[in-house]
Chains A and B, each alone.
Chain A
Amino acid sequence: MPDIHYVLLIVGMGLATYLPRMLPLTLLSRRQLPRWLTDWLDLVPVAILSSLVAPVLVTTGTPRTFDPSRPDLLAAIPTLFFALKTRSLAGTVIVGMALYWLLGLVLR
Chain B
Amino acid sequence: MVSERHCVVRDGLGAAWPVCLGYLPIGLSFGVLAQKAGLGPLHVLLMSVLVFAGGSQFIAVAMIGSGVSAVTIVATTFVVNLRHLLMSSAMSVHFPGISRRFLALFAYGVTDESFAVNMARFRGEGWDRWRALTMNQAANACWVVSTVAGVYIGNLVPPGAFGIDYALTGMFICLLTFQFRERLHIITAVVAAVLSVSFSLIFQGNGHIIAASCAAATIGFLIKRHSRKRKVHA
Contacts and interface: CB of A to CB of B under 8 A. Distances in A.
B103 A20 contact: no
A14 B197 contact: no
B178 A72 contact: no
A8 B92 CA distance: 30
Interface string B17-41: 1100100000000000000000010
B67 interface: no
A66 B197 contact: yes
B169 interface: yes
A107 interface: no
B112 interface: yes
Nearest to A89: B174
Contacts of B112: 48, 52
Interface string B31-53: 00000000010110011001111
Interface residues of A, number: 78
Most buried by B among A16, A45, A79, A88: A45
The main secondary structure of chain B at its interface with chain A is helix
A47 B43 contact: no
A48 B200 contact: no
A11 B116 CA distance: 26
Given A20-B82, A47-B216, A59-B201, A28 B196 contact: no
The main secondary structure of chain A at its interface with chain B is helix
Interface in A28-68: 28-30, 33, 36, 38-41, 43-59, 62-66
A83 B174 contact: yes
Given A9-B73, A99-B163, A79 B42 contact: no
Nearest to B97: A30
Given A40-B221, A48-B213, A93-B167, A10 B193 contact: no
B95 A29 contact: yes
Nearest to A2: B43
Interface string B107-130: 110101001100110000000000
B81 A16 contact: yes
Most buried by B among A25, A66, A84: A25
B174 A92 contact: yes
25 contacts: A10-B47, A13-B56, A22-B108, A24-B89, A25-B88, A25-B107, A26-B104, A28-B92, A29-B98, A29-B103, A30-B96, A30-B97, A44-B87, A46-B188, A49-B176, A52-B172, A52-B196, A53-B173, A54-B194, A62-B204, A83-B174, A89-B174, A93-B21, A93-B174, A97-B166
Given A9-B64, A33-B93, 20 more contacts: A10-B47, A10-B50, A12-B77, A17-B78, A17-B81, A22-B104, A22-B108, A25-B89, A25-B91, A26-B104, A28-B93, A41-B93, A44-B217, A46-B192, A47-B212, A66-B197, A76-B173, A79-B170, A96-B174, A97-B164
Interface of A: 1-2, 5-18, 20-30, 33, 36, 38-41, 43-59, 62-66, 72, 75-76, 79-80, 83-84, 87-90, 92-102, 104
